[in-house]
Each structure stands twice: as structure tokens, then as C-alpha cells.
Structure 1
Amino acid sequence: MTATTSDIERAAGLLRDGGLVALPTETVYGLGANAEDPTAVAQIFQVKGRPPSHPLIVHIAGAEHLHAWVEEVPATARLLAERFWPGPLTLVLRRGSRVPLEATGGLETVAVRVPDHPVALALLSAFGGGVTAPSANRFGSVSPTTADHVRAELGDAVDFVLDGGPCQVGVESTIVDVTGGRPTILRPGGVTREDLEAVLGGPVAVPSTSHVRVPGQHPSHYAPRARVALVESEKVVAEAELAQEQGHQVGVFLPHSLAGASVKAHAVVALPGSTAAYAHGLYGYLRELDERGCDLIVASLPAEKGLGLAIANRLRRAAGPRASA
């Protein structure tokens, strides 16, 4: 069921009262709170189990509101906002006084974006302010791309879930730091490096590590319950079958290049040839293999160009070292 006007009005009222609302965006579902209410923002961290040092993204209704949330809007930021907003691009800028430090993880920078989803935009317009909205799931786990994912994971911890249908992009926004001389991608996502470079007319850096804290940088993130093992694409079938023989319940991400190959495993996801379709389905695939009882997922990384860069980033984090129980 898709959110109605009365649903949006109810959600806006809950945000004004300090409540938490799950909202759809084009990327993933977010867990929203009034960005100017430190108490409400603190509830996000509590519900997610998220470290308070991890900054949140402030969602606004349009690029024309950006100046109200940041200290200044450099020319590069204006250019990117004009081209990619609404859309899956987050800009890191100097924090304006309107933004509490609770929302920035104590940093003097703030991450801001305009989501490209009619329900999210209607909510932001009805609310009349900014909404901090990290992914609506427990910290470090697989991001939700449907309202049912949110309900299953967070349940009554959320005051209201706005249903906007499945998310179209399926991976989080690209985060770009525009506080320095050269724009830098801090997290790859729904806007590709190639698209950014085409608009800016020059190279955009993608450092392996960054001094700027942003969402999604934890070593283990976007992780299913099953352990994720990354191997070369040509070794996926052999590694999966070996692990199955050793007693694992193996889930396989079968590369499109191996379409039709027979795999002796517990469950197999045949990946699409399009990286856009892969990104759209990625988190759903991980959840599916968890639900089917897999304890190990064998996958390979796509070519790291276009949306493949974001997919590879998410898979590496999903396969990252996890804290011991």
C-alpha cells in the first residue's frame, strides 16, 4: 500500500512532535527525525544501535533550501546540486548553525541531499524542515529497500512507516566532499564517478580512506547474517561447491558471465547483466539468502566502473571483519 496524503500529514506531525518516521527514498528507506531536534536525533542512534560519532545525512525539500543548512555554498556545490538534485547525491559542506552537532557526529561539516522520491519530497514539504534519515535498519546490517524490510527489522521502534513501494536505485547515495579544492567521493553510490566528472569537467578523487567521517565507512557494514566470501568470478562455482561439501549452507551470487551454469549449493541468485538492475536488487538478494538459511554467501566483485563501484563497495563492507560475539 502506497502512502496517502493523510499518511504524509500524520508523519509530518510525528516529526514535529519528536517522533521517528521511516520514509522511502529512491536509494533505501530512511529512519527520519527532525534534524533540528537533538533529542529526536539521539533516538535514531538508540534505535539503530549506531555509534553517536557517525554523522547523519540531512534531507531537504529542494536545492533552494541548502543555504539555510550550511555555512556557505561553493560554486562546485551549486553546480552539482543543479545537475543531480533531486537525486542520489549527498554533498558534504561546512555546517550551518541550524544543524545540531548531534546530527553531525560532532563534526563541523554536514551531509545534505534532496531525495528523488515523491513521498519523501511530499513529507519534507509538509514538514517544512530538514529530516535526518540514515537507513532504517540496525547499524551495520543490510539496508532496507521496502517498507516490509523496515517493519521486519525495527518493528515498534518506529512510530510510523510511510510505504512508498520498492526503492528504485537500491544502494545509498554517493557522498561527495566539496569543502576542499577538489571534489572527493567519500562513499560511492547512485550517482556514478563518471557522471560527476562529466559535469565537473575534471577528475574526482576516490580515496581508499578518508579523514572525513561519513555514513557507511565501518569495516563491516551492509552485512547479512551469513558470512560473505569474495572470490574471483571464475572461481565462484568451485568455491561455493567446496564450501557446501564442507557442511556450509551456501548461497551463491552467480555472475551473469556464468549464466546457466550448474551449481551444487543451498541457494543460487542469478545476477542480472545490468549494473543498475544489480544495484536495485543487491540488498534484496542478501536478505533472500539470509531468509533461506544460508550461513555463507560466495560472491565476486563487479567491474568497478559506473554503478559497479558502489556495488563493489557494498560487497566489500558486507564481507568485512565482524566484531566477535
Structure 2
Amino acid sequence: MRVMTEILEGPTAIATGVDRLTNGQLVAFPTETVYGLGADALDGDAVAKVFALKGRPATNPLIVHVSGIRMAKTVVAQWTQEAELIAKAYWPGPVTIVLAKADCVPGIVCANGDTVAVRCPAHPCALALIEAFGKPIVGPSANPSGRISPTTPEHVADGFGDADLIVIDGGHCRAGIESTVVDLTGEVPKVLRPGIVGAYAIGETLGKPVECVTQQAEGSVARSPGIVGSHYQPKTPTRLVSTESLASVDESVVLIAWSIDTHPANGSLISMPSELGAYASAIYRALHDADKVGGEEIWIEEPMDGSSTKDQAIRAAIMERLGRATHG
């Protein structure tokens, strides 16, 4: 009998998810950022299935999802005052904290490093699943490694259609891009991966400057996912272009754009909102849709500039994702 990914919703989905997690199986679940591929974070064999299904390099660590501060304290060696400030300000929400890991966390979760990335997601289905399971859950994006992150259950099913997997349907992910990752292990806090919560906001919360370090030092162990090489890529060759470049497009190119209402060469156009928060929420879905058109290329119009500090942070996070989506 052929196995198929199954999309479930409601209380039955949570109960089925808990049963699968308890038995070392995988569950895709919604968060406010993207859908995650969940497994028991304290079971190394279960976590290995996540890497195998995604085709994910073992050097790319996972984020551990928790129900709150109390559970977070069980997976770190020491819960610091800075961690308390960040968690109280942004949890549940799209900020991940990196701290020294507790011994109970398998090395496979952390790329065999000495730190762990932890966050509490702001989605009722994710929180219900973690709370019902009673233990932390790893949750990298529920897609084949390197491909576009999923923001709907259908995106997950498209990526893993013949896998032994259930997807808990929580609708479209409202934030739409992955969390900000902040490393609190050193004297100076470091943003390792940008997100919709910017470094300036993190610094305001901590009352001290925050450094942005989004490139991994050569030979070092990664402390955050998504910081090495290409990610978020469609199968169709993809380019990031300026608004001025749109006039030179031909019919074979699928456009993802916010500043025009029609394709200049009567090809396929996927319209984007100009407001940056809405753009972030929509960009992965737009990439999925564009990839299905079958054009020769996808062109993505750069998002508009942000006027506020908040919008500038969101734009920086979007541009980081689009830079990796069009890399190489």
C-alpha cells in the first residue's frame, strides 16, 4: 500500500500528532513563521528521521520548540537574565535564543556543537501539540532541504507527498519567514539570522548593542540554521531584480512584483503587497506559486524600502531570504 502525506485538522490532529511523536515518528505542524517538521527533540533516533526526510546536512542545526520558559530551561545549561528578558518580550513569537545546551539534548540536534537554539512559537496548534506531548520538539522547515519554506499545509504535502507523515492544518503562516536567531552565549549578543524582529529591537530590550553576524566563520560549528549557502530555492532559475529592470522582461519569465498590475510582456504575474509585513507573509507562497507556472525564469522585484526601523528590519530579513533563494 502506498504511503501518502495526510493533512489533518482539529483536536484529532493534535492527538494523532502526540501519538506519532511518542512513537518516534514525524509530524509537520504550523507555526507563525513557517510549517515545521517535528520530532521529539530528546530522541536522537527520531531527530535523525528529520534529517533523512529533508536530506538536510548534519552540519545544519535545528531549533528546539518549547511551550514556554519553564520547558526552555530543561534544554539549556543555564537560563540567563538576558534570555529571560528576550523570552518575556517576544515569546510566544518569532525570536530564537541560542544558549549553552543541556546534556539531555542529543548532539544531532546541535550539529554536535555545545549550544542549542530554542524558541516558543506563537501558533495555537504548535503550542497545543507541544503542551500535549509534554516535551520539546525540533521543528526545521517542513520541506526538502534547500527548497522553498512551506507556509501552508499543501506546501508540505507537495514537498513530501509520498512520506509517512501527517500535517496539522493551521492555515497560512501569518509571519511567513523564519524567526530571528540571537546568540546570547557571549559578552555581546549576536543576531545570527535576521527575522521580522530586528537587531535594534533586540538591543533595546537588552539595553545594550547587538552585533549582526550572518556569515558563519570558516571551520566553526553552526549555531543557527539557515546561515550557510543557498536556501529557500525554487526549482525554476530565479533572479532578484530592481523595479527598473521589469520593463525588460519577456513573456517566458514569471514575475513576482508589487509595483505593477500587469506583466509588461503579457506573461504570468504574481502580485505582491507593498507593505513589508504583508510582503514577508506572502513571499514564500508566491515563490511556490511561481514555481508551478513552468516559466523559464522567475524574477522577483526587490521589496520597497522601509521608512521605520521596524520596516527596515523586515526588509533586511526578506532580502536575506531572497539573496539565498537566488544564490548560485
TM-score normalized by the length of structure 2: 0.90
Corresponding position: 1:91 with 2:97: yes
Q: Structure 1 residues 207 and 300 mapped into 2: Cα distance closer, same or farther (>3 Å)?
A: farther
* % identical aligned pairs: 40
Task: Give the structure 1 partner of residue 241 of structure 2.
Answer: 231
2:123 equivalent to 1:123:
no
Deviation, structure 1 residue 166: 0.9
1:203 shift after superposition: 3.0
How far off is 1:72 after superposition?
A: 0.8
Whole-Å separation in 1 of the counterparts to 2:82 and 2:210:
12
Greater CA drift, 296-305 or 224-233: 296-305
Which region of structure 1 is more displaced relative to structure 2, 28-37 or 57-66? 57-66
Indicate the residue corresponding to 1:315 in structure 2: 322
For 1:126-174, what per-residue CA distance to the aligned partner results, in whole angstroms no more than 9, with x for missing partners? 0000101100000000001011111111123243211111111000111
Q: Does 1:79 align with 2:89?
A: no
> What pairs with 1:215-294 in structure 2 (closer than 5 Å)?
215-238=225-248, 240-241=249-250, 244=251, 249-254=252-257, 256=258, 258-260=259-261, 263-264=264-265, 266-294=267-295
Q: Check conservation: 1:55, 1:105, Cα contact below 8 A.
A: yes
Match of 2:178 among 172, 177, 196: 172
CA contact (8 A) 2:67 2:130 kept: yes
Q: CA RMSD in A?
A: 1.7
- Please give the alpha-carbon distance, in whole angstroms, between the structure 1 residues aligned to 2:212 and 2:168: 34
Look up the equivalent residue of 2:260 and give its one-letter code.
A
Match of 2:65 in 1: 59
The 1:59–1:202 alpha-carbon spacing in structure 2 relative to 1, beyond 3 Å, is same
Matches of 1:269 and 1:289 in 2, distance apart?
7
Structure 1: how far apart are the matches of 2:266 and 2:109?
A: 44
Compute the TM-score of the two structures, normalised by the length of structure 1: 0.91
8 Å CA contact retained: 1:23, 1:161:
yes
Contact 1:2 1:164 in 2 (8 A): no
Q: CA deviation at 1:83?
A: 0.4
Confirm or deny: 8 A CA contact 1:251 1:265 kept in the other structure.
no
Q: Cα 1:146–1:261, aligned 2, differ >3 Å: closer, same or farther?
A: closer
8 Å CA contact 2:190, 2:210 repeated in 1: yes
Say which of 141, 145, 148 aligns to 1:139. Answer: 145
1:306 aligned counterpart, secondary structure: helix
Matched residue type, 2:151:
T
Letter in 2 for 1:11: G
178-187 vs 114-123, which moves further:
178-187
Number of aligned positions between the proteins: 312
Aligned pair partner of 1:191 in 194, 197, 201: 197
1:89-132 Cα deviation digits (max 9, x unpaired): 11111010110001111111110000000010000000000101
- Residue ranges of structure 2 left out of the alignment (5+ in a row): 1-6, 307-311
* Structure 1 residue 262 displacement after superposition: 5.2
Counterparts of 1:22 and 1:76 in 2: how far apart (Å)?
31
CA apart distance, 1:177: 0.7
